[in-house]
Amino acid sequence: MADDPVLDPLDLALLTTMRERPRAGVLELSRLVRVARATVQSRLERLERAGVITGYGPDIDIAAAGFSVQAFITLEIAQGSLDKLHDDLSAIPGVLEAYATTGTADVLCRVAAASNTELQQILLQLNASPWVARSTSAVLLSTVIEPRVLPLLASRPRASSTRAPAFRRAPAAD
């Protein structure tokens, strides 16, 4: 069933440990979560095949890399033009991500620029697309919560299916 949790407590422990120590190898992960190296390796392979783990690249701080101006842009687009808009959005390096949405806006983009002037150029490029009818922007002032997934994953773990006798969930805090 699609609503059933995919991750068990060992999977969550591995993912949490990988977030805390992103450079840890399989052997170190096995020591940290106290299961056999082969168990860690097979779990990671399963999580990769399932599409839960999508990569191991470095997390990049856009502001530290020189792009301190960020904004969320909503786009209202011509009906049926989402596929056509993809090429226009992909051609703008400052467009970091874009999502089709419900509501009054059709697409939500997150963009980054080195300056307000550069942000304005991105907005002009977006509005130059023949598929964009209207755009609205909101400049990002500060981050309240960093992108995260672990609290959500931990909120619905499935029953443990591990045969790793050394792995025990941490005792609940009082």
Q: Give the CATH number, domain containing residue 130.
A: 3.30.70.920
Say what the pLDDT of residue 156 is.
82
Examine residue 96 and state whether it is found in any structural domain, yes or no: yes
Say what the pLDDT of residue 1 is.
44
Confidence of residue 174 (pLDDT cuts 50, 70, 90): very low
Say what the pLDDT of residue 96 is.
98
Examine residue 172 and state whether it is found in any structural domain, yes or no: no
Q: Is the pLDDT of residue 168 over 70?
A: no
Examine residue 174 and state whether it is found in any structural domain, yes or no: no
Examine residue 22 and state whether it is found in any structural domain, yes or no: no
Examine residue 146 and state whether it is found in any structural domain, yes or no: no
Q: Distance between CA 100 and CA 77 in Å, rounded?
A: 10
Number of domains in the chain: 1
Nearest to 78 by CA among 134, 38, 143, 40: 134
DSSP H helices, the chain, are 9-20, 26-33, 37-49, 82-90, 116-128, 150-154
Examine residue 134 and state whether it is found in any structural domain, yes or no: yes
Residues 45-65 have pLDDT tens digits of 999 999 999 998 888 999 999
Residues 98-117 have pLDDT tens digits of 999 999 999 999 999 999 99
Examine residue 91 and state whether it is found in any structural domain, yes or no: yes
pLDDT > 70 fraction of the chain, expressed in percent and rounded: 87
pLDDT > 90 fraction of the chain, expressed in percent and rounded: 76
Residues 109-157 have pLDDT tens digits of 999 999 999 999 999 999 999 999 999 999 999 999 998 999 998 888 6
Examine residue 120 and state whether it is found in any structural domain, yes or no: yes
Task: Show the domain range for 109.
Answer: 69-139
